[in-house]
Amino acid sequence: MRCFVKVMLTICFASLIMAWFPEDSYSLPDLVILKDWITLITDNNDQTTRVIVMVKNIGNQAARPFTLRIGASSFNTWSWYDFRIPGLLPDAVATREFRFGGIYTCAWGNADILKEVEESNESNNNASVNEFKLTIPPGGTSSIVGWHS
């Protein structure tokens, strides 16, 4: 009888632990964009703004397909473009670039804008920069090429 009680207590204790710390929360994807992973390039020659954004899956499981939104804004005007990302394995990175018409002073990215991926942390999906990373003066050229993915 004593053995049966010990087994039952062990099962109850294990059930409580599993309820408090569900295994699934440790095995979810986690899509992240950091401020340092956003590049804002203004080109005064053709009056455009290039925005480059990198998103990484720092979670333990692959992320299913999701939508990455890249945006640019300045004062009371803004624009954005959505990219369909086919999914990301753990530690994988996706980099996307978009060229907006006009000069903008803020660039931002938001991974999983449509909330298609259940993640271990839903609060680290977006970031923005409010300063110029590179300004191309009139008559100048950009040496940043090959960021397309």
CA 8 distance to own-chain centroid? 45
pLDDT 10s digits, 56-73: 999 999 999 999 999 999
The residue type of 149 is S
Ramachandran angles phi, psi of 115, nearest 5°: 55, 50
Q: Tens digits of per-residue pLDDT, 110-132?
A: 999 999 999 999 999 999 998 65
* Amino acid identity at 124: N
DSSP state of 88: B
Per-10-residue mean pLDDT of the chain, 149 residues long, equals: 47 46 69 93 90 96 97 91 97 97 93 95 91 63 45
**pTM: predicted TM-score of the whole model, two decimal places:** 0.73
Q: Which residues of 11-29 are buried (b: 16+ CB within 10 A; e: fewer)?
A: eeeeeeeeeeeeeeeeeeb
Structure tokens at 84: 């369909």
DSSP code of 28? S
Residue 15 belongs to what H/E stretch? Answer: helix 2-20
Q: For residues 115 and 142, give the distance between their C-alpha atoms in angstroms, rounded to a whole number.
A: 35
C-beta atoms surrounding 37 within 10 Å: 17
**Domains detected in the chain:** 28-136 (2.60.40.10)
